[in-house]
Amino acid sequence: MARLVSDAGIASRRRRPFKPQTTDAKHWVTIAENIMARDFVRTAPDQAGVADITYVPITEGWLHLAALPDCHSRRVVGWSM
């Protein structure tokens, strides 16, 4: 079978390998100092918050969802789409 396919000049169309899109980390903007040092445990609300962003696929393209949870209560105190 492989010989017949080769003789007929038939070949599969190969997909390009997936390459994730990342941000450019080589820029002139100063990187902020890490003042939390990965210590996310807080004794009271509103002392520190973290941020997270995710991309949700929808029919029109991508929806960007950003959330800001509080480190003490672990509740989302702000979000935006």
> Residue 73's closest CA among 37, 36, 48?
48
- Show contacts of 76-80: CB within 8 Å, 24+ apart: 77/49
pLDDT score recorded for residue 35: 83
pLDDT category of residue 13 using cuts at 50, 70 and 90: confident
pLDDT at 25 over 80: no
**Mean residue pLDDT across the chain:** 85
pLDDT at 66 over 90: yes
pTM above 0.95, yes or no: no
pLDDT at 22 over 80: no
pLDDT at 74 over 80: yes
How much is the average pLDDT of 37-61?
A: 87
